[in-house]
Amino acid sequence: MTTMKFPKRYLVVILTFISTSVCYIERVGFSIAYTVAADAAGVNQSSKGTILSTFYYGYACSQVPGGWAAQKIGGRKVLLLSFVLWSSTCALIPLDPNRVFVMVIARLLVGVAQGFIFPSIHTVLAQWVPPHERSRSVSLTTSGMYLGAAVFLAEAALGAMWSLLWFKYASDPPRSEHPKATAAGFGESMLPIKGSQKLKLENGGSSVRTAKIPWKKILLSLPVWAIVVNNFTFHYALYVLMNWLPTYFELGLQLSLQEMGSSKMLPYLNMFIFSNIGGVVADHLVTKRILSVTRTRKLLNTIGFIVASLALMAIPIFRTSGGAVLCSSVALGFLALGRAGFAVNHMDIAPRYAGIVMGVSNTAGTLAGIIGVDLTGKLLEAARTVDSSLSSAESWRVVFFIPGLLCIFSSLVFLLFSTGERIFD
């Protein structure tokens, strides 16, 4: 009698899913808790924007270094180190709006530590996941962000618990587990090879071919820039909603966050659902040869971003909690669906350098957080001169129109310049 062995790559994907979930539990938990504390302390909207955007300055600094480190010493090790650092720092953050300097330093450090996570994850997944499972694996992993955003508990403890699980169960991928896989990067170490090892490989060894990271080719590639533009837009919309939706509910709609209960978390739960739908649909279209990889990525990216743009621009039209939750749920849900387009595309065009390309594009996504969160605070502070309570739809229209228009622009860029073919060996 034979027993079915649970494939190790499934466990790795599940652990990466949990990792993104824990990270976003921290981010959304802080945003909501800080909004309540800051409003109670009478902090103005511009100052709130500065504090909320501080995380992204640190986050931006470590994206490309994160991809480089994952390429050089291994995504598994870098991911573990990142979790230990940010969860330790998170435990020390004081939630006191009046201690501005301490909060800024703490949020910067958490941002730097978390910046290594996604480049490391993409390096790990490129090694472990075969091409026909990439869409749903990346979608499941990134959907952890949205599940984490929907449920927040004790962030530091969760980070420490995940670190122990990753240390115990994760490993570098064995080449022999999937001998039929032919995609560059899959099942390979990707770590630098010493001279003697390289000579051995040239004489018939079986490990990975080493090569310098093609930085110039990456930075001049139009398909890479198509990913970068869409990553910027996705995160602009996500971070503006994540950081300012609580304020919109409280000041724009005059609702109590406590009285809204779990309904304020529905947009993120919707992201979790639609992210996984997008991954399953994309893999089905590719494996059944219904559409090419290129057309699959473009189709899902376009549908996701165009529907999201309409929903974003409709948010200030609805003046009830139900309407706002519905519009933000549709917007975030279809943005998550679009990740089966641009987000998986890293591994289509550059499986061997997926962590590097992810670091480059996620830097743009992080800059979107810095710009969007801070700009929104300034826009609202300017609107306060007209509407002192920020309760009118007009006060919020520009806030939601900016990401809406960016979604339309980004979808056109992806249609014109993206590809599903491998362009980096």
Q: What is the pLDDT along the chain (425 residues), one digit of tens a residue?
A: 444 566 777 888 888 887 887 777 777 777 777 877 887 788 887 777 788 888 888 888 888 888 888 888 887 888 888 888 877 777 766 667 777 788 888 888 888 888 888 888 878 887 778 777 777 887 778 777 666 655 544 555 666 677 777 777 776 666 544 444 444 455 544 444 444 444 444 444 444 444 588 889 999 999 999 999 999 999 999 989 988 888 888 888 887 766 666 677 788 888 889 988 998 999 999 999 999 999 999 999 999 999 999 999 999 998 888 888 999 999 999 999 999 999 989 889 988 888 888 889 988 988 898 899 889 988 988 888 777 778 888 889 999 999 999 999 999 999 999 999 999 86
- Cβ atoms within 10 Å, residue 41: 10
Q: What is the pLDDT of residue 55?
A: 84
Q: What is the pLDDT of residue 195?
A: 43
Query: Taking the alpha carbons of 227, 328, 270, 368 in that order, is the dihedral positive or negative?
Result: positive
Q: What is the pLDDT of residue 253?
A: 84
- Give, to the nearest 10 degrees, the angle between helix 8-40 and helix 100-114: 160
- Structural domains of the chain in order of their starting residue, each with its CATH number: 8-171+214-417 (1.20.1250.20)
Burial 189-225 (b: 16+ CB within 10 A, else e): ebbebeeeeeeeeeeeeeebeeeeebeeebeebebbb
Q: What is the pLDDT of residue 414?
A: 97
- Give, to the nearest 10 degrees, the angle between helix 45-61 and helix 63-73: 30
Q: What is the pLDDT of residue 175?
A: 53
pTM of structure:
0.73
Question: CA 26 to CA 86: how far, in whole Å?
Answer: 10
